[in-house]
Structure 1
C-alpha cells in the first residue's frame, strides 16, 4: 500500500509553497521597512493582497531575499520546515527581535473549500496589516542593526538544503546558539490562520529591554 501523497495532493502542496513563498518575500520587505533597518528612501510603495506595502528597491537586498526564498522551496514542498524567522541583530550580533513564521503541515491539503484562494488571500492580507502596525507594540531598535534569516527544520531536510546550495551557490550555515535565542524575550503574538492548504502563526520574540 502506498503511503505517499497523491499527485493531486502534491500539486496542491506546490500551490501552497508558491503562495507561502510569495507571502514571505513581501513580509520580509515589510519587516525591514517597518523596523527601519534601511532608510525609507530605498523603499517604494506597492500593493500586495490589496494591502499597501513597502518593498526595498536596493538590488542586493531584493536579490538576497529572492535567493533565500528560492533555496527554501524544495523543503517547503516536502513540508520539512517548522519555522522561518527573520532575526534582527544588534551591533554585537545578539538578537533583539525575532519575527517567527511558525508553519504546521496539512496532511491532506485541498483546494476544494477555497477553489479561488479568496479566503487564503484574505488571511494573508490580515498578516500584512498586522505587520504594518507592529512597530506600535515594539520598543525602538538600537542603532546599526542587521538582520538574518533562520530556518528551523527537520534533520532529514539538511541534505536537501545542501543539494540546493550546490545548485544555486547560496550557502546556508548552522546558526550560532547566541543568535538563535532572544534573551529575556517578550512574546508578541500577531496573527494565526488555518486553511485547507496551510496553517501558520506569526509572532515576535522581543528582547526586553533592548539596551
Structure 2
C-alpha cells in the first residue's frame, strides 16, 4: 500500500471526523478550535478524551489501509441508545488503472478534500433536527484476519473491535458529498439519513 495514500487518507479522515462533530453539534462549539487546512477554516476538538478516541480509530484505519483490507469507514452519529441517526460513509475502492504521474503533487487531491469540507459545512443545516443527547461511533468494514491482527497489536489494544452482523437498513435519504481519486483509489463520501 502506498504510504502517501495512507497518510493523506488518515489526515483527511481526522479533519472530517472533527468537522462532523462540530457541524452536527455532538459537543458544544466551545470544545473546538479553528484551524486552517486545505486553505479553509476547519474545526478540531480540544477535548483530550474525544481526541484520544479519534486517534485510536485513525490508527486502526491506518492499519487496515496498510493491509489493503479497508472497504468502508462509517462515522455514525447516534442517539442515547447508540442507534445510528445519521452516518457519514467513506467507501474505498482500488482503481484498476493507476497513473503515478497523475496528480503527483496532490494538487487535485487537496482541491477535492477542500470541496468535501465545504460540502460538509453546507449540509449541516439538514442535520439540525437531531436529538440533543447524541454521541458517535466509528465503524470499520474490513476482513476477519485484519480484525484479529488489530486486536493482537499492543498499540491498538485500547481500541475495541466488535464484530457486528451484516444487515441492510432502510434509508430515507442519501446525500452525496464527494467522489475523488487519491493515489489509485476512489473514495466516495456520502451521508445516510435514517
TM over 0.5: yes
Aligned to 2:31: 42
Segment of structure 1 superposing worse, 138-147 or 26-35: 138-147
Measure how far apart 1:190 and its partner are.
Answer: 1.3
Provide the rounded CA distance (Å) in 2 between the counterparts of 1:55 and 1:22: 12
Segment of structure 1 superposing worse, 21-30 or 134-143: 134-143
Provide the rounded CA distance (Å) in 1 between the counterparts of 2:131 and 2:54: 23
Measure how far apart 1:85 and its partner are.
Answer: 0.7
Q: Secondary structure at the match of 1:52?
A: strand
Measure how far apart 1:177 and its partner are.
Answer: 4.8
Aligned to 1:65: 54
RMSD: 2.1
Provide the rounded CA distance (Å) in 2 between the counterparts of 1:62 and 1:109: 34
Deviations 1:97-152 (A, max 9, x none): 01000111235655312221111111111111111222133351112111100011
Provide the rounded CA distance (Å) in 2 between the counterparts of 1:39 and 1:55: 12
Deviations 1:182-202 (A, max 9, x none): 554421111111244321011
TM-score normalized with structure 1 length: 0.83
CA contact (8 A) 1:182 1:205 kept: no
Aligned to 2:149: 160
TM-score normalized with structure 2 length: 0.90
Aligned to 2:187: 200
Q: Secondary structure at the match of 1:81?
A: coil
